Structure 1
């Protein structure tokens, strides 16, 4: 595990996002799935969809978490999703694929301040 504080912050945000998704009835299929284009934060599913979820975590007082989700990153996330789908041919069939974004804001002690879940963010 990296000692970089940004990785620690990101891990906290991803854990909170996963807890949120599970409360909403999703089952996590993968976390931190590596592709040649980067890493998918969370891949989850319910009975109707597979969700590729990008998680952005920020400390309270900095920029809004989802401000950093620009079109080049969205294109990269779509490529990573295709890579994941190709690597998982035995996955359960669901009629919908969706790209969500979860923005997590935490305070200096690591406590959740806000969590914003944008379904179908792109």
Structure 2
């Protein structure tokens, strides 16, 4: 009695990449877990702008997490000290300091340190 086994690498690769298979489900679970951690680590309301998906990349399945908030670049990379001026020519800036409303024409912002909450979420999600 003899047994012959033939392995078709292309067929195995297609099976592993098929939607809904075990590899896709595991990648979805991991990606969603990291995205949820990123939502909690994100400052303010930025967590509401985080979405995730699983796509097929050049090396197989990849989990992709995206933050579409307009200021995410400044949060991740930080900012240097800078001036803030009103948008209108003769306008004023209005904000609160210690519960008091302040009006001014110029703010000297000290800058912010980088807050790479996406990388931190990836580390915590492993």
- Greater per-residue helix proportion: 2
Instruction: Using structure 1 for the length normalisation, give the TM-score.
Output: 0.33
Of structures 1 and 2, the larger Rg is shown by 2
- Greater per-residue strand proportion: 1
